[in-house]
Amino acid sequence: MKTAHIVKKGCLALLGLVFSASVWAHGGAAGTDTDQCKFELEPTHWIHYTAYQPVAYSAEEFCGKLPGIDTKTQLVFDYQDMRYRNMTVEFEVTKEPEGTRVFFLPAAKHKAGTVNLELPNGVPEAGQYLIHITLIPDQGERLDAHMSFKAGSGGAVGKGSLLLYAFFAFAGLYVLYLSHAGFKGAIDGLLGKAKKF
Superfamily of structural domain 38-156? Macroglobulin (MG2) domain (2.60.40.1930)
Span 155-165, pLDDT tens digits: 444 444 455 55
Span 97-136, pLDDT tens digits: 999 999 999 999 888 888 999 999 999 999 999 999 998 8
Here the contacts of 58-63 (C-beta below 8 Å, separation 24 or greater) are: 59/161, 59/162, 60/155, 60/156, 61/27, 61/156, 61/157, 61/161, 62/149, 62/154, 62/155, 62/156, 62/157, 63/27, 63/36, 63/37, 63/149, 63/157
Mean of per-residue pLDDT scores for the chain: 76
- Residue 74: per-residue pLDDT: 95
Q: Domain extents for the chain?
A: 2-20+161-196, 38-156
